[in-house]
Chain A
Amino acid sequence: QAAVTQEPSLTVSPGGTVTLTCVSTTGPVTSGHSAYWVQQKPGQAPRTLIHGTSNKHYWTPARFSGSLLGGKAALTLSGAQPEDEAEYYCLLNYNGPWVFGGGTKLTVL
């Protein structure tokens, strides 16, 4: 099965901007992978923030945005808040099966 790689950890200052990326070992990430971004805070269940590369659920704060960037899926956080400190996972679809990235631990400091 394919593997998906993310930055293990990133730090952003409050109010700052950070981009998390998601790379597939099979080649460029495309819209066909229907990239999801899932947030998980300690002790909580996961929560889907972004689906279909760039679409938000109604509960997704406007400061989060998803895109494709140079063959990668990307999650950009603009105007980071302390409550955004969490683990972020990308999830890619490979025509049926899914694969999670290893997650990015985002620290807001």
Chain B
Amino acid sequence: EVQLVESGGGLVQPGGSLRLSCEGSGFTFSSFWVIWVRQPPGKGLEWVANIKPDGSETYFMDSVRGRFTMSRDNAKNLQSLQMTSLRADDSAVYYCASGGNLAYWGQGTLVTVSS
């Protein structure tokens, strides 16, 4: 069974950090881009970042560039989104998606930035 599972969300104070993980199973995780998408409460989907299969290229949306970084460990089928200097407007459900032509999506993990 194919699965993508996000983890690491939670409540964090403004200026704090969180590390989200995306773990794939049931498909060749190492062969595909991973993208992160977020959805603030009651709002639309927003592309955040993506990373190449071998980790050699990453792209970030303007508002998170310089604050978010990505890495992946294909031996563990794991990809991470490191988020620092978090702001209230980073609060959202964060989804990862991967597989051929974004075939697979996780169920999301909630990040809340609040004091």
CB of B35 closer than 8 Å to a CB of A = yes
> Does the CB pair B62–A57 fall under 8 Å?
no
Q: Which of the four size classes fits the interface of chain A? A: 20 to 34
| In contact, A97 and B105 (Cβ under 8 angstroms) | no
How far is B43's CA from A87's CA once the two chains are assembled, in angstroms?
Answer: 11
Q: Which stretch of B10-18, B23-31, B77-85, B95-103 is in the interface?
A: B95-103
Q: For the complex, give the distance between the alpha carbons of A52 and B100 in Å.
A: 11
Task: Determine the distance from Cα of A101 to Cα of B95 in the docked complex, in whole angstroms.
Answer: 17
What is the interface of chain A, defined by CB distance below 8 A to chain B? 1, 36, 38, 40, 45-48, 51-52, 55, 57, 87, 89, 91, 96-103
Whether A96 contacts B45 in the complex (CB less than 8 A), given A45-B105, A46-B105, comes out as: no
B101 touches A40 (CB 8 A): no
Q: Which residues of B contact A52 (CB under 8 A)?
A: 101
> Judging by beta carbons under 8 Å apart, are B35 and A98 in contact?
yes
Interface of chain A: mostly helix, strand, loop or mixed:
strand
Residue tally, chain B, CB below 8 Å to A: 21
Given the known inter-chain contacts A45-B95, A45-B107, please indicate yes or no for A89 contacting B45, CB distance below 8 A.
Answer: yes
CA–CA, A55 and B102, complex, Å: 12
A97 near B45: Cβ-Cβ < 8 Å: no
Contacts of A38 in B (CB 8 A): 45, 102
Which residues of chain A come closer than 8 Å to B108, judged between CB atoms?
45
**Chain B residues with Cβ under 8 A from A89's Cβ?**
44-45
| Contact partner, A48, options B50, B57, B102, B106, Cβ 8 Å | B102
- Give the residue of A1, A46, A55 whose beta carbon is less than 8 angstroms from that of B45: A46
Check if B73 is an interface residue, CB within 8 A of chain A: no
- Verify A45–B35 contact, CB threshold 8 A: no
A102, B44: Cβ atoms closer than 8 Å: yes
**B97 with A46: CB separation less than 8 A:** yes
